[in-house]
């Protein structure tokens, strides 16, 4: 049996995961080991990795929505959150995910990440998106800036967001980035990522099953983002990473 006190930095990670889970934006499981926190959402479309926080005495996992207190007890993989208030002690023992930290760590190591094609996006961009539209289409044509498009297939409405020449307030991509896309990203996934940070750089990964890697400027948080493929009719086909 191990008693652990979660520090402020790590607790902030957990609290954000809880907030997203309760809001229905990113229901997820949390997996901790070494100095690493891995968060995988229930839809398997976002896989987050935080590094450089406190060191955990042993691996443990829990459902984000169960998080209740920075004081926890780990006993043979079972996790209990302990709260003391007004002379009263509350112990909340929780079911744990089927996947373990070791499982998720192995999954992370399976990704071969290419960071040669970067697109830097800031949080302010989120305010330009329509919450009611399910997907954001990301693409780049030869000689043009990166373009974000949202479509309403029922009304025919089309929203485009792009960077004016010389303006990096919203995007800043490598000048030599190769044309790609269109790649579809769920709007809710895209918005959820900016709960953790103000700026992210996205890296387009090549291959038959397109996906994206993203990270913060200090590389303290990184992650894998599943995408969708748009065909000629703009229909979305989900691809699991």
- Residue that wins the pLDDT comparison between 93 and 180: 93
Is residue 69 domain-shared with residue 162, that is, in the same domain? no
- pLDDT in the model for residue 126: 74
Query: Same structural domain for residues 38 and 99?
Result: yes
The mean pLDDT value for 12-29 works out to: 77
Domain boundary pick from 52, 86, 109: 109
233 pLDDT higher than 60: no
Q: Tell me: the pLDDT tens digits for 172-198? A: 555 567 888 788 888 888 888 888 788
What is the residue range of 201's domain? Answer: 118-238
- Whether 129 and 232 share a structural domain: yes
Give Cβ neighbours of residue 162 (< 8 Å, ≥ 6 apart).
144, 145, 146, 147, 148, 171
Residues 19 and 59 in one domain: yes
CATH of the domain at 169: 3.10.150.10
Residue with structure tokens 């208030």? 85
Query: CATH number of the domain that 100 lies in?
Result: 3.10.150
Between 129 and 122, name the one with better pLDDT: 129
Distance CA 216, CA 199 (A): 6
Q: Any idea which of 79-93, 110-124, 183-197, 226-240 has the lowest mean pLDDT?
A: 226-240
User: Which DSSP string do the residues of 85-110 spell out, in sequence order?
Assistant: ETTEEEEEEE---SS-HHHHHHHHHT
Helix (H, G, I), strand (E, B) or coil at 155: coil
Q: Are 125 and 209 in the same domain?
A: yes
Q: Is the pLDDT of residue 148 over 60?
A: yes
Pair 101, 124 in one domain:
no
Say whether both 139 and 231 belong to one domain. yes
Last residue within a domain, chosen from 90, 109, 128? 109
Same domain, 142 and 94: no
Domain count, the chain: 2
| pLDDT (0 to 100) of residue 235 | 44
Check whether residue 100 and residue 125 sit in a common domain. Answer: no
């Amino acid at each position: 049996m191990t008693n652990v006190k979660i520090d402020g930095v790590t607790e902030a990670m957990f609290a954000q995961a809880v907030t997203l889970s309760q809001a229905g934006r990113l229901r997820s499981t949390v997996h901790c080991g070494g100095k690493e926190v891995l968060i995988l959402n229930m839809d398997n479309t976002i896989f987050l990795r935080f590094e450089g926080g406190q060191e955990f005495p042993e691996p443990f996992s829990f459902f984000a929505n169960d998080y209740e207190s920075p004081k926890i007890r780990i006993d043979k993989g079972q996790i209990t959150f302990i709260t003391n208030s007004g002379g009263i002690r509350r112990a909340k023992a929780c079911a744990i995910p089927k996947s373990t930290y070791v499982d998720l760590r192995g999954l992370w190591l399976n990704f071969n990440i290419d960071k040669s094609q970067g697109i830097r996006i800031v949080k302010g961009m989120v305010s330009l998106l329509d919450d009611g539209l399910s997907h954001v289409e990301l693409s780049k044509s030869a000689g043009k800036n990166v373009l974000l498009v949202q479509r309403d297939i029922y009304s025919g409405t089309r929203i485009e967001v792009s960077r004016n020449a010389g303006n990096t307030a919203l995007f800043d991509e490598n000048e030599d980035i190769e044309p790609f896309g269109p790649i579809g990203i769920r709007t809710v996934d895209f918005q959820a990522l900016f709960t953790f940070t103000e700026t992210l750089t996205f890296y387009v990964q090549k291959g038959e099953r397109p996906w994206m890697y993203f990270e913060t400027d200090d590389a303290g948080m990184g992650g894998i983002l599943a995408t969708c493929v748009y065909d000629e009719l703009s229909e979305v086909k989900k691809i699991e990473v």
